[in-house]
Structure 1
């Protein structure tokens, strides 16, 4: 049995992962969960793999707990800043860490397709990323949208931070050549819809993923956790889980 511990167990994703563990036939058990204000030291020690879907402010503490217990950790928390990625890089020298903006297997494959399309279509095609989420989501663009943007930028040999354009408003002028645009829609109970639109002369190509409920992310997180168990220290992504280059 592989014991899974959850940071952020009372949140939407934490509850979905706990339910997926209960329904799983993959030899998984629920080691327990902790939330804001609760100590996670005991959980980190008894879990075989930790999954974190809490909040960026809690990430440093959770990484410290994972390192102290020598327990691998899957990080699905979004809204991370540059400092958080430094912390993840440092933790990955001691333990196996898998960080992703989306644990869906479909989104992981979509990102690979986006990178390939961006590389093959070339700079004459404009790229726009549109995402829709439920009204309670607090960060924008979504972690998934940024993941897809990174894939597009990588396909063109660019750095996303140098080409990203978000929230156009007012008299913006003509579109900058080579930019990657983002639009975020919020409302209702949408689990997550993402489209990457490539716009050329007189033609468009749209690559999309629609999430019907959070169970797909929960199942992907568990697949990632099972894969991460036993891996050497290092920083991994969902691409490694699907063996994508």
Structure 2
């Protein structure tokens, strides 16, 4: 049984992870971190990760970017693998994560959905071929409380497209006023409203036809399941930087 410490257990995603874990025979959430956790939570909840005195195999984080450093400190002291499900990290934080992975086991993915990562793999194979004759646009939609824009997933997909294309391409975040499109632009458009869980659409617009790849998250459970599968994958890792592709390829 893999014992998980869930950082952000009182948030919307944290609660979904708790429910999803009940369906996993090999995973148990044994402790949580949250300043405002519901008292009905059955496992011990600490206001700070430094106060956690429960033995765990993996840390799963669904919180905010500013929790990163305390998580890494805990991981370093306890030699515990980390699964980062949070987005919106700064360049300095990403550099910290990459450097940390040289001596510790850490997992980071902009989106925990298996479906999104399947689409991401498709983009690796088709983007360079389509680029010459198609304009590329990305549209992402999320609920009105999401903090970062564009979403981490939109940037994940966009970076995959950029890496596949030999020519230098640039992101254009929305358009306003007089703005004739240049071919090397990758348009990224963020929509925020209501309770949208997450939608990502990649459009290849050519002369006389368009090709569209779209993923719609109907429930937050898809992200929770991905995080729990990542926990199983990471439990025995000692160092290295991993992502959802590693989980998919391990099957």
Question: Among 187, 195, 203, which residue is 2:193 paired with?
Answer: 187
Q: Deviations over 1:198-232 (max 9, x none)?
A: 11121110001010010000000111111111124
TM-score, structure 2 normalization: 0.90
- CA shift for structure 1 position 108: 0.7
Given the alignment of the two structures, is residue 127 of structure 1 paired with residue 143 of structure 2, yes or no? Answer: no
Residue 168, structure 1, aligned to residue 175, structure 2? yes
Instruction: Figure out how many residues of one structure are paired with residues of the other and give that number.
Output: 240
The unaligned stretches of length 5 or more in structure 1 are none
Give the conservation status (yes or no) of the 8 Å contact 2:50–2:70: no
Contact (CA 8 Å) 2:112, 2:226: kept in 1 or not? yes
1:224-243 correspondence runs (5 A): 224-243=230-249
Q: 1:44 to 1:69 in 2, by over 3 A?
A: farther
Deviates more, 1:121-130 or 1:195-204: 121-130
**CA-to-aligned-CA distance 1:35-55 (integer Å, 9 cap, x gap):** 259221354861101111111
SS of the aligned residue for 2:22 comes to helix
Give the Cα separation in 2 of the matches to 1:141 and 1:112.
20
**Equivalent runs, 1:101-116 vs 2, <5 Å:** 101-116=110-125
2:13 aligns with: 13
Which range moves more in the overlay, 118-127 or 232-241?
118-127
Partner of 2:249, secondary structure, is coil
1:88 corresponds to 2:97: yes
Of residues 56-65 and 40-49 in structure 1, the stretch that sits farther from structure 2 once superposed is 40-49
Deviations 1:104-132 (A, max 9, x none): 00111111112212022133311100011
Distance in structure 2 (CA, Å) of the matches to 1:44 and 1:175: 56
Partner of 2:40: none
* 1:164-210 CA-partner distances (Å, limit 9, x unpaired): 110211222x1122111101111111110110001112111000101
**SS of the residue aligned with 2:31?**
strand
Q: 3-state DSSP class of the match of 1:209?
A: strand
Report if the CA contact (8 A) 2:30-2:54 is conserved: no
Give the structure-1-normalised TM-score.
Answer: 0.92
- Displacement of 1:65 in angstroms is 1.1
Residue aligning to 2:218? 212
Show the counterpart of 1:146. 155
Partner of 2:207: 201
Counterpart of 1:97 in structure 2 is: 106
Alignment match, 2:59: 50
Instruction: Provide the rounded CA distance (Å) in 1 between the counterparts of 2:32 and 2:247.
Output: 24
